[in-house]
Homo-oligomer: A and B are copies of this chain.
Amino acid sequence: MRLVTLPVVFTALLATPTTVLALWPIPKTLQTGSTPLKLSSNFKININIPHAPSDLHAAVQRTITHLKTDNLQRLVKDRGAADLKAIHQHTTHTLSSLTLSLSGSHTSAAAAVTSIAEEAVKPIGTRSEGYTVHVPADGSPATITANSTLGLFRGLTTFEQLWYTSAGGQVYTLESPVEITDFPSVPDGVDLGKPYRGLMLDTSRNFFPVKDIKRTLDAMSMAKINTLHWHATDSQSFPLQIPGFTEISAMGAYGPDMVFTPSDIKDIVSYAGERGIDVVVEIDTPGHTAIISESHPEHIACLQAVPWSDFANEPPAGQLRLASPATANFTADLLSAAAKLFASSLFSTGGDELNSNCYVHDAETQKMLNATGRTLEQALDAFTQTTHGALRKLGKTPVVWEEMVLDHNVTLSNDTVVMVWISSMNAAAVAKKNFRIVHAPSDFFYLDCGAGEWIGADPTGNSWCDPFKTWQKSYTFDPLANISAANAHLVLGGEQLLWAEQSSPANLDSIVWPRAASSAEVFWTGATLPDGSPRAINGAAGALPRLHDLRYRMVQRGINAIPLQPHWCAVRPGVCDLTA
């Protein structure tokens, strides 16, 4: 990251902003002035990069569009009417252009410039998302500089958030000059090409069409979220159409119109990549697989055993016969074929909520175990070596849920990424075993909690993970809590998650946004805010005006993000705080 020498004449406004700059996540350093600046209606963006990739050109075009169509009035009581006097002064300068450049060694190797999509799928630790934005007060060209096209794209996203629109359609800021040097820095405070900032979407319990996933990717990119963890399949449906295994989705998808074809998948991966998002797919195994029985009953144990609650955490029961070499090979081949559809270096094999009682009652499994003299745990280890081995051959790094290292005796390579979900308290135990961690704890990040129990005959039940996880709760998450300094490097980042038992396109936007932006800021900035203060202590109150801005901008872009408060409060920052 090239460090920018900051002009000292600007006033640092982070502590007590005079107006709200609608930046989310908050940049590492931000300096603003107090000079009004208009954006020209002929505003242009120049890409000062030979052979710039087409997705950078496309991103620039989207920024031009957003600047024209966001039409976001400032969130103050008069919606910026009083700003008009300042911005319509004849002395007010107009910004006519922005120039994008690559910095450092990259400028001399122009032919080797990689696309945003290529940068987005590089292994964690090797990406460069940092950038600088400079907007002079005198109308001379603004600049964004970065080490990569991905960094330039992040800078464009920030640039879009600098502007409001007056009732008359003038795009403006009151706070030029603007100087931003920004990079994600969890957990180390320096730019190591981390972290993982994710959103998980479950497309098995209920189906989500491609257009809804694309709209979600648009919203994710607004908050600089860089990973879609796609929990694509589960016991209820198998929507992924995988070459060589098309019978599984033909019989296990919810319907012929509720399938992701290879072409759909390519579309999603490419759409995500252009927006700086890596798509990490999950085919959960060996549990959460009952629906495979529709096409391959021979591979599934305890299918729809009753009562289901004795054999699975939710209906229907049914798990892969992991002790069977035929099943292990089938699974390895399936995962390999699926992995080839995705550009990411990561692939999740799941591994959560394996029900041992299922296998106790499965005669086939018992026969296999008896024949080989193996325990179930030994069989699970062998199964995992087979499936992970197949993925390794394709250059993929496996991702697993926490039970695979905390509850089972499975030999895993230490570059395996472990998702901690049962409790945030379990991250420390995973770190002690020297595995890399993605924080996905139900007690902070499960977006479905608090919506009631969905089991039909349970009229008085609440969510198992009650209460609802507010954005304030997730925002105060500390990525390094209970993790020793020596193990801090194991923390890759984290994600918020939507399990879809009670979700569909009907409530996708409203259950996710703007809440899921809270972890995006946590994993961009770390445990402390840029001014050094700990986020956990009243950080949410300071963040609220910016999160309102992000939400209102999302609504302007057609994303059905919910209001966090009455509009009365949104246009009077701080006034509705409990202590106000």
Contacts and interface: CB of A to CB of B under 8 A. Distances in A.
A189 interface: no
Nearest to A574: B456
A206 interface: yes
Nearest to A475: B459
Interface residues on A, range: 35 or more
Interface string A493-517: 0000000111111110111000000
Given A475-B459, A562-B504, A568 B453 contact: no
B460 A472 contact: yes
Interface string A540-564: 1100100000000001000011111
A457 B463 CA distance: 25
A357 to B, nearest CB: 17
A11 interface: no
Interface in A215-238: 235-237
A450 interface: yes
Interface stretch (A135-143, A306-314, A374-382): A306-314
Contacts of A456: 540-541, 544, 565, 569, 574, 576-578
Interface string A414-457: 00000000000000000000000000000000000011111111
B565 A502 contact: yes
Listed residue (A254, A315, A544) with the most chain B CB atoms within 10 angstroms of its CB: A315
A266 interface: no
A207 interface: yes
B475 A452 contact: no
Interface in A46-80: 79
Given A314-B576, A315-B576, A458-B577, 7 more contacts: A204-B566, A316-B576, A452-B472, A454-B566, A455-B577, A456-B577, A459-B539
A498 to B, nearest CB: 12
A580 B307 contact: yes
A406 to B, nearest CB: 27
A469 B450 CA distance: 10
Interface string A464-505: 001111111101100000000000000000000000111111
A565 B454 contact: yes
Contacts of A563: 206, 501-504, 506
A507 B510 contact: yes
A470 B539 CA distance: 32
Contacts of A104: none
Nearest to A455: B578
Given A455-B577, A456-B544, A578-B456, A565 B501 contact: yes
A114 interface: no
Interface of A: 79, 204-207, 235-237, 254-255, 291, 304, 306-309, 314-316, 450-463, 466-473, 475-476, 500-507, 509-511, 538-541, 544, 555, 560-569, 574-580
A218 to B, nearest CB: 15
Contact of A538 (B457, B505, B566): B457
Nearest to A471: B452
A463 B453 contact: no
Contacts of A538: 457, 459
A460 B509 CA distance: 23
Closest 10 CB pairs of A and B: A452-B470, A459-B472, A507-B510, A457-B577, A236-B568, A506-B560, A457-B541, A205-B566, A459-B540, A456-B577
A463 B468 contact: yes
Contacts of A580: 306-308, 315, 457
Nearest to A236: B568
A53 B456 CA distance: 43
A566 B503 CA distance: 8
Contacts of A469: 452
A540 B457 contact: yes
Contacts of A79: 255
11 contacts: A206-B566, A207-B567, A254-B568, A307-B578, A450-B467, A452-B468, A457-B538, A457-B540, A459-B541, A501-B566, A502-B564
Listed residue (A564, A565, A568, A577) with the most chain B CB atoms within 10 angstroms of its CB: A568
A254 B567 contact: yes
Listed residue (A463, A475, A501) with the most chain B CB atoms within 10 angstroms of its CB: A501
Contacts of A567: 205-207, 236-237, 254
Contacts of A540: 456-457, 459
Contact of A472 (B458, B471, B502): B458
A107 to B, nearest CB: 44
Contact of A451 (B304, B460, B468, B561): B468
Nearest to A539: B459
A488 to B, nearest CB: 24
